[in-house]
Chain A
């Protein structure tokens, strides 16, 4: 057996590694190189400019403005999404208690689970278009409802005070369903007898969630945290489709800034790569930090 080991490992490892090197690592390295040039993207010529692009970046108010919005997304989206995801998953898996022994979800769990998962089936562009119409100031669903109950009808995506938060809400909406399913699956792996014991001890739902479910789900929550943190640093598609960063840059994000710099209103590929490089390190640090901050002892069921 020993003789055959290395050829086998090599056959399985080398092709994916090669693909990874060619299609992932090399473009990244190239992005680093391009970020130190003034390449304008439509000729083969580019002059090296050292770190000048990064220096410009430091003083670029629009980039900082976009980063500020990403920071807000980072602070709010994971918390809201995980919070809602945990809440819904709990209700679906162990919310129903009325006059019943044992652990079961609320009535109609199967239907809810399907409904929550709907946004995941839609492409992000469709979600953006859908919500753009929901937020339509005159004929949108939201303002229609508000008017029907006699409340004022704001312009939502047309107002710098609300536009960003409107998109943020959609981001949460679009993500929650997936985490409901993810957490739900993790919950079903928790042995039922633990819950039965908790029930016998007379714990409330809230205590059960806080003291039992969350600690046992910690691994999953941690993974969710990282995914969502990365998603929060992106947010590009929704923003581009729904507000294109407006009004007056109030909903700009760093991904959109990079896109606009390279493909949109300018063709400064060198500068855009510099933004990409910054984004790369930001994402990397956020992921590492999230992993570190959430580290806890692993619990194994025996």
Chain B
């Protein structure tokens, strides 16, 4: 608080209270906007225009201005405009999606396309349960813009549709394809003659060797310790099969305490017990820990495939980061070592009350064209969910290892979505448990207990809509 706040507060002499209470309510003015529904833009459907776009209807696009910036979106908008020259495109970008757009959702006048991402993301559970998002099913069945003979759905990588589906309805287009794994530097390992270990026992032996060489084997984002839940759950899924993750997603009783999760938590406890983690890691945030890793203070870090572009500015020349799957626990694993968590990320949606709903879907079709996807990969060094869109595009070193890892993983790839269904469960509850576990304050049994208590609290909360998946 600064003195201006103090003065302002006392100026409100009669009512001494914090401004936050008022802030919450300030958004709620307006009320229903149902009568505006009649004004939606509709064109005639044809082979050239399968979604029925009205060619002169304006299109409003709101982009999250984060790691990917907004230039890529401007390129997509230009492609849209090329097809519909009469359409006026209103582009804006923000880092605070929720605060910027909440009044417009309440008012019933949301934009046509929203890139709902970042720390200010609107909780999807709330959006879906309030029927605020349009069904994208029509888009999936429309023919691809530039891949002949295929529907949009047939051009997507496996799993891309499932991630954005709630109760069987495809609502959220997750545009990028992200792999989650364990990263190391090819240079560091090459210089020291180390080999990435494929089994857990070898991994522990390697950690011992690394530690003896005076380098911390691991570091992690202590302020966002959920980053470490990813390799831990991945280890369990590889041991027990994808049903381990499905049970967690479906909030099944004791899903967090399945045998596979227990074995995985016990295994990972080893790196805590043996002090394989860089001192002070619990006090680092993701940027600080990733920077320590880039400086060679630690050998391994858990992260998604955005790591390379996030670290671009501080990564030394020739560092050459490589993503690898989590090591196998043993020969009893249901999935092979190569299996890696791959999932679609970076969510886009068309609000149900968007005026130019058809235009929003058509904009997605533009994004999902081969041309749109390749342009995105070139601009922001990230993969998209469009299959084959990296062909002929030169990728940076780290991203090329991501492509290789995903290829090797193939149909063994797995994923979980409880973080999409119940944002709070991962962001707050599992996060806190990971913090305790990886700083060594609690053991594996207590860790799983705490996660399970978090999942149970979500399951018992009747104000949170529940989702189930079957595949």
A residues lining the B interface (CB < 8 Å): 20, 24-25, 27-31, 33-34, 38-45, 120, 123-124, 132, 135-138, 143, 153, 155-160, 175, 178, 223, 226-227, 230-231, 233-234, 236-237, 243-244, 246-249, 255, 258-260, 262-269, 271-273, 276-277, 279-280, 283-284, 287
Check B436 for interface membership: any CB of A closer than 8 A: yes
- The number of chain B residues with a CB under 8 A from chain A is 70
Main DSSP-derived SS at the A contact region: helix
Q: Flag if A45 contacts B25 (CB, 8 Å).
A: no
What residues of B have a CB within 8 angstroms of the CB of A266 in the complex? 123, 125-126, 423-424, 464
Which stretch from B276-284, B368-376, B378-386, B407-415 is at the chain A interface?
Answer: B276-284
Q: Flag if A246 contacts B106 (CB, 8 Å).
A: no
Q: Shortest Cβ distance from A284 into chain B, in angstroms?
A: 6
* Cα(A290)–Cα(B247), bound, Å: 53
Of B21, B284, B441, the contact of A280 (CB 8 Å cutoff): B21
Check B399 for interface membership: any CB of A closer than 8 A: no
In this complex, what residue of B is CB-closest to A53? B463
Q: Flag if B283 contacts A248 (CB, 8 Å).
A: no
Which stretch from B11-19, B53-61, B156-164 is at the chain A interface?
Answer: B11-19
Q: Flag if B24 contacts A269 (CB, 8 Å).
A: yes
In this complex, what residue of A is CB-closest to B30? A44
17 cross-chain CB contacts under 8 A: A28-B15, A31-B22, A132-B285, A135-B283, A137-B283, A138-B297, A155-B280, A155-B283, A175-B1, A247-B222, A255-B18, A263-B98, A265-B427, A267-B98, A269-B28, A276-B24, A279-B17
Q: Flag if B122 contacts A267 (CB, 8 Å).
A: yes
* Cα(A42)–Cα(B107), bound, Å: 9
Check B108 for interface membership: any CB of A closer than 8 A: yes
* Cα(A269)–Cα(B130), bound, Å: 13
Of A42, A123, A249, the contact of B106 (CB 8 Å cutoff): A42
Within 8 A of A (CB), among B12-67: 12, 15-18, 20-34
Of B15, B31, B284, B431, the contact of A137 (CB 8 Å cutoff): B284
Q: Shortest Cβ distance from B178 into chain A, in angstroms?
A: 20
Check B129 for interface membership: any CB of A closer than 8 A: yes
Q: Flag if B432 contacts A123 (CB, 8 Å).
A: no
Check B99 for interface membership: any CB of A closer than 8 A: yes
What residues of B have a CB within 8 angstroms of the CB of A284 in the complex? 15-17
What residues of B have a CB within 8 angstroms of the CB of A234 in the complex? 1, 18, 20
Q: Shortest Cβ distance from A294 into chain B, in angstroms?
A: 14
Q: Flag if A120 contacts B432 (CB, 8 Å).
A: no
The 10 closest A-B pairs by CB, nearest first: A137-B280, A158-B283, A158-B282, A276-B21, A267-B126, A31-B25, A155-B283, A265-B424, A30-B25, A137-B283
Check B405 for interface membership: any CB of A closer than 8 A: no
* Cα(A79)–Cα(B61), bound, Å: 51
Check B173 for interface membership: any CB of A closer than 8 A: no
Check B435 for interface membership: any CB of A closer than 8 A: yes
Check B228 for interface membership: any CB of A closer than 8 A: no
Which stretch from B2-10, B186-194, B254-262, B299-307 is at the chain A interface?
Answer: B2-10
Kindly name the residue among A42, A263, A279 whose own CB sees the greatest number of chain B CB atoms within 10 A: A42
Given contacts A40-B129, A248-B436, contact A34 B283 (CB under 8 A): no
| Additional pairs, 12, CB under 8 Å, beyond known A227-B6, A272-B24 | A25-B15, A31-B21, A38-B463, A124-B2, A136-B280, A138-B280, A155-B283, A230-B6, A236-B20, A237-B1, A258-B24, A273-B24
Q: Flag if A158 contacts B280 (CB, 8 Å).
A: yes
Check B223 for interface membership: any CB of A closer than 8 A: yes
Q: Shortest Cβ distance from A79 into chain B, in angstroms?
A: 17
Given contacts A266-B424, A268-B463, contact A283 B18 (CB under 8 A): yes
What residues of A have a CB within 8 angstroms of the CB of B33 in the complex? 44
What residues of A have a CB within 8 angstroms of the CB of B30 in the complex? 44
Q: Flag if B28 contacts A265 (CB, 8 Å).
A: no
Q: Flag if A249 contacts B432 (CB, 8 Å).
A: yes
Kindly name the residue among A25, A137, A223, A259 whose own CB sees the greatest number of chain B CB atoms within 10 A: A137
* Cα(A226)–Cα(B288), bound, Å: 38
Given contacts A138-B279, A233-B18, A234-B1, contact A158 B424 (CB under 8 A): no
What residues of A have a CB within 8 angstroms of the CB of B223 in the complex? 157-158, 243-244, 246
Q: Flag if A263 contacts B99 (CB, 8 Å).
A: yes
What residues of A have a CB within 8 angstroms of the CB of B129 in the complex? 40
What residues of B have a CB within 8 angstroms of the CB of A123 in the complex? 2
Of A25, A42, A247, A273, the contact of B127 (CB 8 Å cutoff): A42
Given contacts A41-B102, A42-B126, A267-B122, contact A157 B283 (CB under 8 A): yes
What residues of A have a CB within 8 angstroms of the CB of B22 in the complex? 24, 27-28, 31
* Cα(A287)–Cα(B17), bound, Å: 9
Q: Flag if A277 contacts B21 (CB, 8 Å).
A: yes
Q: Shortest Cβ distance from B448 into chain A, in angstroms?
A: 15
* Cα(A136)–Cα(B288), bound, Å: 9
Q: Flag if B428 contacts A260 (CB, 8 Å).
A: yes
Q: Flag if B16 contacts A34 (CB, 8 Å).
A: no
Check B234 for interface membership: any CB of A closer than 8 A: no
* Cα(A277)–Cα(B32), bound, Å: 24
* Cα(A33)–Cα(B12), bound, Å: 21
Q: Flag if B123 contacts A267 (CB, 8 Å).
A: yes
What residues of A have a CB within 8 angstroms of the CB of B23 in the complex? 27
Q: Flag if A265 contacts B439 (CB, 8 Å).
A: no
Given contacts A44-B108, A267-B122, contact A158 B284 (CB under 8 A): yes
